[in-house]
Amino acid sequence: MTRPENFFLVGKNAKIDLVRPCVMGILNVTPDSFYDGGRYVRLEQALRQARKMVAEGAAIIDVGGESSRPGAEAITAEEELERVIPVVEHLHAELSVPLSVDTWKSGVAREALAVGVDFVNDVGGLWRDPAMVKVVAEAGAGLFIMHARGTPREMQQLAEYGDVVGEVRAFLKNKMDLALAAGIPQERIALDPGIGFAKNSEDNLELLGHLREFRTLQAPLLLGVSRKSFLGTLLGRPRPEELLSGTLATIALGVAAGVKIFRVHDVQEVRDAVETAWAICRHGFAPENGGAEE
């Protein structure tokens, strides 16, 4: 049975209305993330940015304590918890929007869920830490499953596909089935094709051109394209500070393809793009075959 367009994505103690696309604000409390590393490492900096994103229309705040950019060095669970938990505790006490934790470690997810997080954004796609699915199920949390291969240090050497769309789709279906079998209800699951994770620029464009094919998985799609390097390759602008316009183009096309959640750094600008694209799509616009002709 096809899921209705008007439904909620359910978290531990929250629901996100997905009748129209929404924005997830990125809050990296890391020193080394590719775009905003070091900006929000102090607690008050992080809280100020979260308040700003909520005021600009973020429907969820995604807190990350370990960089997953290509080449990033791994950190211990203890260090990640030291970065994440104080921020989550303060945000949970102050803000009304749901919180997500961006991690692949089940131990970090468990502690974050205990202090107010509603969703786990597993950038390890349920394979880097097999205990993650049990932690999420036992907490009654929501789950974002992202396609990934390898670790950040090695993932770009693993960007080899015969059919990137088919292989990513099969991976996400397999991991969603694993989550369902572990007792996580379907209304608590969203799927992310993992743009930029173990994929080259052509792979990313191929996935973006075929997002409609992922809707057959019967789960909301989450898309993370914000200021990523494939846009710099495409536009000839290597600095992420110059990639907002490219980001907004992908957002608008994502809305037309049926994406429900956009994970971004620039909440206000993306919110405007989402609302505009959504209004146009409501009046009948839909790209034929999911993309432009050659």
Catalytically active residues, by annotation? 228, 263
Are 81 and 53 within 8 A, CB to CB? no
Distance CA 268, CA 156 (A): 31
Distance CA 46, CA 58 (A): 15
Phi, psi of 142 (to 5 degrees): -90, 160
In the structure encoding, which two tokens stand for residue 61, read together?
């705040």
What one-character-per-residue DSSP string does 195-245 give?
A: TTSS--HHHHHHHHHTGGGGGGG-S-BEE--TT-HHHHHHHT---GGG-HH
Instruction: Please state, as a whole number, how many other Cβ atoms lie within 10 Å of the Cβ of residue 63.
Output: 26
Are 262 and 270 within 8 A, CB to CB? yes
Strand partners for 22: 261
For residue 109, give the H/E element and its range.
helix 106-114
Phi, psi of 256 (to 5 degrees): -65, -30
For residue 88, give the H/E element and its range.
helix 77-94
Q: What is each CA distance from 48 to 16, 38, 51, 68, 70, in whole angstroms? A: 23, 14, 5, 23, 28
